[in-house]
Structure formats: structure tokens, C-alpha cells
Structure 1
Amino acid sequence: MKFMKLGTRLDTFYTEEATRSVVSDIPNDLVIQISNINYLLHQFSLLPKCGLLQRLCADSDDSSTVTIQLHDIPGGEAAFELCAKYCYGITINLSAHNFVSAFCAAKFLRMTEAVEKGNFVLKLEAFFNSCILVGWKDSIITLQTTVKLTEWSENLGIIRRCIDSIVGKILTPPAKVTWSYTYTRTGFNKQQQLVPKDWWTEDISDLDIDLFRCIIVAIKSTHMLPPQLIGEALHVYACRWLPDTTKITRPESSVSQTDEVTDKHRKILEIIVNKIPSDKGSVSVGFLLRLLSIANYLGASTVTKTELIRRSSLQLEEATVSDLLFPSHSSSNQYYYDIDMVAAVLESFLLLWRRTSPAPTENTQFMRSIRKIGKLVDSYLQAVATDINLPVSKVLSVAEALPDIARKDHDDLYRAINIYLKKHPDLSKADKKRLCRNLDCQKLSPEVRTHAVKNERLPLRTVVQVLFFEQEKGSRENDHRMPTQELLLSRGKQIPIVRDELSKLQLGSYEQTIRSDGIPRTPAPSESSTRDDQKLKRPDKKTPLEAGKKGGERTNRGEGI
């Protein structure tokens, strides 16, 4: 950081109660009142350099003490004292931290060339141009100090010139960056590595949100930096100033924020969302989802939430399960995870997918897209199913949102259901049936079906359905054959019920096939003999049992299994 030292005399200012004086053998004849402080000074030292004081003292008697009130001087008493010490020739040190207040106060007092040659304003301007604007961090610090004197700094051109200097350095190719910068990414070594493209993002995150916005607008207007770099700057700023909702549980269990802090956070959030480049991928989906969680926590506007949901849905394929796991911040919700947020993003994705996708085929990008989302959703359900307070309705709202083609198999859905049943042992039979009605036993792998028929947490009808479809898998290897009788024996008193349900499923499927084909029902000695006969008589057509497979499935789904 650059400094400028002016004056050679020792500091002889001292304080008595609410009065500041300077050691001198000459009685004071000038009283300056600023706020609650009185300055006892001398006209012969200040008037030659301050045009304002010359005008205010013009009508006074030379032998009298003049009292002047300067309550509206920019920078207050600290800035005035710098100007006063300069007039006395007392040593003062100027830097990026106090330049703005000193410059505005000097302008206010009219310490210009028109009053005295080589006056304070001229020296300050020289320091600003030759030191502050040349430096990287000096420009940022100076710009930040303009927050307390925004109107003065704007009128004097300080803000504009600082922004121009900062943006000019940001647009400098990284290979030509020679000044010091802050970069604290894990694993980065300034001595051993080249200057990263986003070297500037951490330093400008020190700025107030309005000044930061001006920097981003100026950068975007040049069209010289890729949107990903601008997105990274927004990400760094958000991490610096917005609350981390992953570490906040319930509003009643944490220290409530004041309205002022909440309003400040809400303003930062809405500006960041508004400045995200429109290019897809300019920011990560994880960052968008985090902003959405923060928006819910802060009670942001509907426009902000809607935009974040839309942007998140456009990049939902890139998300991981951890990107979706955010705690719920609603005091009315007893469950931990914010599953409503995920449901809203999923709904937005599916709306766009249905609108843009052609007739689905296995190899199209649209099919691969929806299958990837299906895998993500089922994995997410496995993660949130461990929440003991999560109601069935919330699980179903997400599980049932996906179209049938989104799941190539139902193994992950089965695992999510099994975890939920395990964590909720007191679930009613009706809720168990509601949960399992989305499970298509035909889309379960042999290993999962083997687990399912032995899973006593599942509803009995679901187990029977798995057994029924297993019997239709007559082409399986012997070592993969289900131990049906052994399973039924393990069910004990439920054996008659299982046999009865299994018979109903078989009979219903067969009868539906007969009716659909228009062929009179003929009793068959056994399933295996019927299949063999049909194979001999109709080698080029499906057997009644195979044709009844779809009919049986329709019957079962109609019963809500």
C-alpha cells in the first residue's frame, strides 16, 4: 500500500474534555464547531489555505474571536483535523484508507490552487493519480471508503475513476499481472504456479454490494471475459457475504437475524441472481441450488425464487445428490430436508422436458437426459428416506413426479422404499401400500427380487406380486430360481393368504388374456404343460401366459399395488 507524508512539525494537538486545541504561544481566535467538538485554532494558519473560511471570516472584526459551525463537512471531525494539521505544517500520513475523506473535506474547505499555489487539493490529486489508481488493492480500498461519502465521491469522480482502474486491471491478461493479489484457494502456490484467470475475484469481494455490482456491470459491458469468470466472481461474493444454509437448522433454534441484516442479505442475493450471465453453465447447478435455499431462508421475492428454480432446472442433469441436500427452514415443517425445493426444481425440469422432447427412443439425448434425472431422484430419495419425520406424502410427491420412462429399472427406487420402511417401522399398512404402488416388479433385477421376497417390511401384496412375476420368468437358470416354497413356509400363518393371492393373480392374468384374444376359456392341467402345448401349436405367437403378462400388470396396477 502506498502512503504520502506531508508536513514536518510534530503533532501538537491535544484534547481537554470536548475541546481540541493546538499548543501555541498565540491565543486562539478561531473556533470551529463540528458535531460535539470545538476546535480552538488560529486564523493566520487556516485562512491563507481555506477559501471557505476566508469568506466566512470576511466580515468579522480582526480583534474578535470568530466561531464557525461546520457540522456538514464531509468526513466529519477526523477529515477536518487532517486539513487543519496540513495548514499548521504538522506531519500527516495519507493512504487509500483516508484519502477520500481528506479529499472531500479539502474540496469543501476550498483548499484549491485559486486560494494558494500548491495547495492541499493539488497534492491529494497527485497522490490519487500517481499512487492509488496505479495500485490494485489501493484502488479497491479507496473505492470501498467512498461508501460513507457516496454523493461527494460520485460528484468528484472518485468512484468512476476507481472503477475504471479496477476493471482495466481485471481485463489485463494473467501473464502480465505483476501486482499483489489475494488468492486463497486450497492447494494454490503463488511462487510455483501461473497467475489464475480468476485472480481478481477475492479482492473485489471486499466491496459493498452496490460497488461490486458496478464492477460486474462494467466487466460485462466489455464482452472480453467469459461468462464462467463472471459467474465465479458472483460465487466468491456470495460465499463471502450470504449465510450458509447448510449449517442453519431451525429459525427457533438459532439466533434470529435482525431485520436490517436480513434486508441486507436479501439485497445481496437479488443483485447476484440478477447479474448471473444468461449463458448456460456460467455458474454451477450446485451454486444455483444453494442460492435457492438461501432465497427460501431469507424470504426473497417470488421473482427471484422463480428465476432460480428455472435456472436450476436447466442444469439439473449436472447435479449430484449432495447438491440437493439442504435443510428445511420452515418452522411448520418437522422434517429435516427441504424436499419441497427439490420437488419445485424437478417440476420445472419436467415441464421443459415434456415441451421440448420428441417421441422418446432409447438412444436419443432426451431419453438419456430423463434417465439421468431418474437415477438422481432415486438416489436423492435414498438419502432423505433416513429422516424419521419425513411424511410419506413428501416422498411420493417426488417419486411419482417422474414419468415411467425415467426409470430403466426400479432397483434404486426399491432401495429408497426399503430405507424408508426401515426408518419408519410404525408406518400404517395403507401408507406402505401407497409407497409401494410405484414399484414395478418387472423392472427389478434378480438380486433385488430375491431380497424383496424375503423383506418382511414390504406389504404382503407386493411380495406376492414379486413372486407372481418370478413364476413368469421360466427361462431363468436353476441357481437363480426363487425358493418359493421355502419363502412361503417362512411366512408361517400367511401361507394360505399368499397362495390365495398368487392364485388370483395367475387366474386374473390368464382370464384377461383369454378375453382379449376372443378365445373360449379351456382349463389347463398346469402352467408348465400349457406353456409347452402352446409352444408346439403356435410357434410364431406369444403364449397366453406371456400375452397375459401385460394384462396381469394392468390388473395389478389398477388395484393400487
Structure 2
Amino acid sequence: MFYHKCRTVVSDLPIDLVIKIDDITYLLHKSPLLSKCGLLQRLCSDSRDSESVSIELHDLPGGADAFELCAKFCYGISINISAHNIVSALCSAKFLQMNDSTEKGNFVGKLEAFFSSCILEGWKDSIVTLQTTDKLPEWPENLGITRKCIDSIVEKVLTPPSQVRWSYTYTRPGYTQKKHHSVPKDWWTEDVCDLNIDLFRCIIMAIRSTYVLPPQLIGEALHVYAYKMLPGVTKLKSSGTSASSQTEESKKNRKILETIVSMIPADRGSVSVGFLLRLLSISDHVSVSPVTKTELIKRASIQFDEATMKDLLYDQNVYDIDLVQAVSESFLKLWKRMFSGAVDNRNFLRSIRNVGKLIDSYLQVVARDDNMPVSKFVALAETVPAIGRLEHDDLYQAINFYLKVHPDLSKADKKRLCQILDCQRLSPEVRAHAVKNDLLPLRTVVQLLYFEQEKSSKVTTTSHKLQKPHELVKKTPATEDSLGKQTLDQEKEELNREEVLTRRTSLNESREKGTQKTKRSDGKLALELEKKMVIRGDSEEKRTEKGSGVKEEGNLDPKKTIQRVRSNKSEHGREKGR
């Protein structure tokens, strides 16, 4: 039996009629279709002794639509061949053996001529034709259609922009044809991004193998494809879809992401650190392989000193502190290997301090999260070494924000949080604010007061050392009245100089003794102050636990304590001045 479904009036065949023909000989002699199809002729010849022969349309490459084109060609009906249907038509004609050996000027020869002269010569037609090969993966590959389309596209991509004459898209933001008459270097990236990931990879790898285009241009193509094909983090958490659909979508996205990562050029700067961090943020949601994630972390850490807050925060302040910590730790390990012992290296210091500023700014954002645990906050802050922070002002701001958002923080957590703060690296303005900050634990306030007092003592001692000693003997200038008078004046001057040196030595010794006494008294004062504040703080906590939870007026007030300490400092300074 031979089943033939045709949607147009072809000779004596009505519309949408499935015709069952038992007499193959009659069809062979009466139908022009069989006379142009070598396969049907062979089937009819082989089935002369049998009652029937069967062929199903789904066996044809391209299905019923492709068979219709072949049938119309056999019956002399006008057909429209374009980049959208030439692949299916050519594969179907090849399947039906509609070549010149069956009849001169047959369908295959005409389609091949159109493919070479029109499709491969155009830019967009080559891409559209290559895109349609995805529906028939085996036939276009075996017939060489896929390879010819790829070669044509790569050849055009490698053409110098000044020689590009075919049409291309002007869809980039801020790009208009009126303002730009020359072809941009990345003119081809958006068009090739319409292909599936396998065909896109074939194009990119073929371009890379020529070593003609710079790595940054390859990275731009990967960047465009990823942002076009990969959804955002919020879109990945889709609702209202079945579990099977989410699984299939996740598999598809995982394949795309892993393939893109495998194609990133090894050159530093071929892609931006923001792009790498973006891929890394999506990797957890699509469950990429550990190898791919490790590679992304490594690549992002190499350029982490170039990152900005926009790179760490995306999709309306969506962030991942674990991701940032992993990249920061990898960055530190990498630079330790590259600059081992080179603490004075300018590049190393600049890079590590850029990362330090970035981390502190990032901490100020995540500190506002109610659910941010202390352990993660402290762990990220500790990834920055001591040389990575010239000042701790930004870190103090982050800690202050965290204490405000988490008022119920335990005493142990507060202590753990403030241990990462170096009070000596605070600016005078920030230190003055910290001394009055009621959110800080008492131990930190004591340290701040001690360092402030120690600094003021050093300033006082330094000012005394820089002060000029009083002239003990007024020098008498020599005159030229007489030689004897000049000699007398010189002798007096030498005596006076020796006396001045002697008194200056004794004065310095007395000042050094005074400085030592001052340091001992300052240390004793700070120690006594710390003990008193700790004892008062403990008693205050006990009274608060026993009582109704409301502090009495007689309890320890940090502000009053600070004022009292400052008054003691001023009196102590006046006594030293006396």
C-alpha cells in the first residue's frame, strides 16, 4: 500500500485526501511523481510480484511538508524555497533520490545550486539555514549542509569590518544606523546567538582556532549569548510549573552554562569579573558540576580586585555571601602564591586593598539583613588580611549597622563581632563616635578610651620634645671695635655654650623620667578604669536579670563614665603641666 497525503490539488488527487493505491503499476505509469523519484521507482520494481508496497510519510526527512514540496515540483507547480525550508526539501529530495541520474534537471540539482549561490552567500540566510538543521540532526550533517553553513559564517566573521557589505542588526542599546556608518567589531555576536548551544559552540571554536580575533571579542560573544539564553536568578525560581518542566529547564541551562565556561579564553580580561560572578551566581541554581564551579571561582578570583559593588549585588540587592567569601579566599590564596613574601610589592598592595575596600562596602550591605548570622559576617571580614585595610572606618560602619539591625545579639556574639575591629586604625572622628556608641561592648569602649588616652600622651610628649629650650645665657655678638674685645666675647660665648649643653642634658633626663612616670600612671589608670567598668557592667547585668528589666538611674551609664574619664584625663594633663 502507498499512502500519500497532499494538501493541494495535484493532478487528479483531491485536497486532504489519503489515497490508497493498490495498483503500483498504474501509479508508475500515470503519476509524474514516480517518474522523478528513483526510490519509488525501485520500490515499485521490487514489488511487482507482491500485492502491495507501503511507505510512510514520517519516514521522510522533513515529513509531510517536505514531501509536498517534492510533489509540487514533480507536477510542475510553483514552489517557494527559502532559508527556512531548503534543508528539509533537500533532505527529502535526497531521500527520494530525485537526482539527475533519475531524470535530468531533477529537484536535488536545483536545490543544491540555490543553496550554494544564494544561501551560503548571504549572512542571515546562512544562520537561519544552520538553525533549521537542528530539526534534522543526522541528514544535514551527513549531506554536509551543516559544515558548509558553519564555514560560510566563520568566513564572514573573520572578514575585516571595513570590508563587510552585508546587512547586520542595529539592535544594540544606543546604537543607531544614522550615527554609526562603520561596522562595529562585534557586529556578528547577536546574530550567532540565535543558534542553539551546540551550533554556537561549533562557530566559536572554529573562530578561536584561527587566532584572528582578540580574546575580548570572543568573550563578548559569550557574554551576549549567556545573557540572552540564561535566565536570571529570580526567573529560575519559577512558580506554577511542573517539577518535570523545571528539571528539563535546569538541565538545559546547566548545559549552556558549562559549555560557555569551557569556551572562555584563558587570557585575563577576556571577560569581565562581573560576568564571571554572574555565571557563578547562576551555577548553584542549575546544579553545575564541581569542576565548572571551581573553574569559575578561580577565574573570578584572578580579577576580583577589579570588581565593583554592582558586580556583587544583582537583581535588586540579591546577594550570596558564601559566593563572595569563596572568591575572596581564592583571591588571597592566589596572591599569596604569586607574591610570596613581597609585602612591599605595589601591585600586590593595590590589589589587596581594593579587595579590602570592596569587602567592607559589601559588609555594610549584608549587615542590614535580619537573617545574617554573625559567623558568616565575621568569616567574610576575616578573609581580608591586616595589610588589606589601611583604616578600619568602613569596617566599623559595617559593625555598627549590624549591631543596630540585631539589637538582641548576645554578649558573646558582640564580643566575637568586635574582635575583628582594630581600634588603633580608626580615624579620630570615627573613634570619637565609637566612644559614645552605646551598642558597643564595654571592653571595646575601654580599649578605645585607652588608645585615645595613650595617643594624647604621645602627642603631649612629642610636643615637649619639639619645643625649643630657653636660652639660658644671652649671646653677645662680637664687634669689630678692638681685637681684645672680640676675643673676650668669643671666650664668653664658648663658656655659655658649654653651660647650655649641660643644662639641656639634665633637662632631657628629667623629661624622660617624667614621661616614664606618665606612661605608668596612664597604664594604671586604664587598667583601673577597665576593672571598674567590667565590675559595674556585671553588677548591672545581675540587677537587670533580678529586677523588672528596667535600668535604675544609679546604674552604669557609658556616656557618664566617658565624661568622667575625660574629666580625669583633663585634670591629669593639668597636673603634668604644673
Equivalent AA in structure 2 for residue 212 of structure 1:
F
Q: Who is 2:202 aligned against?
A: 214
SS at match of 1:68: coil
Structure 1 vs Structure 2 CA RMSD: 3.6
Residue equivalent to 1:426: 408
Selected match of 2:295 from 301, 307, 310: 307
The residue that corresponds to 1:402 in the other structure is 384
Counterpart of 1:525 in structure 2 is none
Alpha-carbon shift at residue 537 of structure 1 (Å): 3.0
Query: Cα offset for 1:48?
Result: 1.9
Distance 1:346 1:542 in 2: 47
1:248/1:254 contact within 8 Å kept: no
Question: Which digits, 9 at most, give the CA deviation of each residue in 1:149-170, with x for residues without a partner?
Answer: 1111111110111001000000
With normalisation by structure 2, the TM-score equals 0.75
Tell me if structure 1 keeps the 8 A contact 2:189–2:221: yes
Equivalent in the alignment of 2:355: 373
Identify which of structures 1 and 2 has the higher relative contact order when contacts are C-alpha pairs closer than 8 Å and 6+ apart: 1
Shift of 1:192: 2.0
Structure 1 pair 470–254 and aligned structure 2 pair: CA distance change class (3 A): farther
Cα–Cα, structure 1 residues 346 and 534, in superposed 2: closer, same or farther, change >3 Å?
farther
CA contact (8 A) 2:454 2:522 kept: no
**Aligned twin of 2:150:** 163
Report the Cα distance in structure 1 between the residues aligned to 2:366 and 2:219, rounded to whole angstroms: 30
1:384 aligns with 2:366: yes
1:451–1:533 CA distance, 2 compared to 1 (3 A) = farther
What is the match of residue 346 of structure 2? 364
**Alignment-mate amino acid for residue 247 of structure 2:** D
Is contact 2:57–2:67 with CA below 8 Å preserved after alignment?
A: no
- Segments of structure 2 that go 5 or more residues without pairing to the other structure are 21-26, 461-506, 535-578
Per the alignment, residue 511 of structure 2 pairs with: 536
Deviates more, 1:394-403 or 1:298-307: 394-403
One of 439, 447, 451 as aligned partner of 2:429: 447
Q: 1:128-165: per-residue Cα shift (whole Å, max 9, x none)?
A: 11110000000000001001111111111101110010
Shift of 1:174: 1.0
User: Which residue in the other structure is 1:504 paired with?
Assistant: none
**What is the Cα deviation at residue 310 of structure 1?**
0.4
SS of the equivalent of 2:80 reads: strand
Residues 1:84 and 2:88 aligned together: no
Contact 1:411 1:444 in 2 (8 A): yes
Match of 1:44 among 20, 31, 51: 31
- Return the offset for 1:116: 1.1
Give the SS at the match of 2:58: coil
- Who is 1:184 aligned against? 171
Task: Return 5+ residue gaps in structure 1 as ranges.
Answer: 1-14, 34-39, 329-334, 479-531
CA distance in 2, matches of 1:299, 1:32: 52
Which of these residues, 268, 279, 283, is aligned with residue 291 of structure 1?
A: 279
Distance 1:362 1:545 in 2: 36
Q: CA deviation at 1:20?
A: 4.9
Q: Secondary structure at the match of 2:443?
A: helix
Is the counterpart of residue 242 in structure 1 residue 204 in structure 2? no
Query: Which structure would you say has the larger Rg?
Result: 2
Larger displacement relative to structure 2 (427-436 or 230-239): 427-436
**In 2, distance between residues paired with 1:284 and 1:42?**
68
**1:273/1:304 contact within 8 Å kept:** yes
Instruction: Write 1 or 2 for the structure with the bigger share of helix.
Output: 2
Superposed, 1:263-282 pairs within 5 Å as: 263-282=251-270
Answer yes or no: is the 8 Å Cα contact 2:28–2:35 preserved in 1: no
Q: How many percent of aligned residue pairs carry the same amino acid?
A: 63
Q: With structure 1 as the length reference, what TM-score do the two structures score?
A: 0.77
Whether contact under 8 Å (2:10, 2:75) holds in the other structure is no
Q: Deviations over 1:169-211 (max 9, x none)?
A: 0001111111111242211112321211111000000001000
Deviation at 1:225, TM superposition (A): 0.3
SS at match of 2:31: helix
Q: Which residue identity is paired with 1:147?
A: D
User: Which residue in the other structure is 2:214 paired with?
Assistant: 226
Give how far 1:545 is off.
6.3
Moved more, 250-259 or 441-450: 250-259
Q: What's the counterpart of residue 130 of structure 2?
A: 143
Could you tell me which amino acid in structure 2 is paired with residue 92 of structure 1?
Answer: I
Residues 356 and 389 in structure 2, CA contact (< 8 A), matched pair in contact too: yes
Q: Is the 8 A contact 2:453 2:522 kept in 1?
A: no
1:133 is aligned to: 120
Offset from partner CA, 1:37-87 (integer Å, 9 cap, x none): xxx99852112211111111125569x986533432111111111101111
Among 440, 454, 458, which residue is 1:458 paired with?
Answer: 440
Partner of 2:326: 344
Following the alignment from structure 2 to structure 1, what is the Cα–Cα distance between the partners of residues 219 and 248?
27
Which residue of structure 2 aligns with residue 58 of structure 1? 45
1:417 to 375, 380, 399: 399
Q: Distance in 2 between matches of 1:25 and 1:407?
A: 89
Paired residues of 1:534 and 1:543 also in contact (CA < 8 A): no
Report the alpha carbon displacement of residue 258 of structure 1 after superposing the two structures with TM.
2.1
Cα distance in 1 for partners of 2:400, 2:438 equals: 10
The aligned residue for residue 82 of structure 2 is 95
The CA distance in 1 between the partners of 2:363 and 2:264, in whole Å, is 30
Structure-2 residue corresponding to 1:72? 59
User: Does the CA-based 8 Å contact 1:400-1:438 persist in structure 2?
Assistant: yes
1:535 positional shift = 7.3
Contact 1:31–1:41 (CA under 8 A) maintained in structure 2: no
Q: How many Å apart are 1:120 and its aligned residue?
A: 0.7
CA shift at 1:543, angstroms? 8.4
For the residue of structure 2 that corresponds to 1:435, the secondary structure is: helix
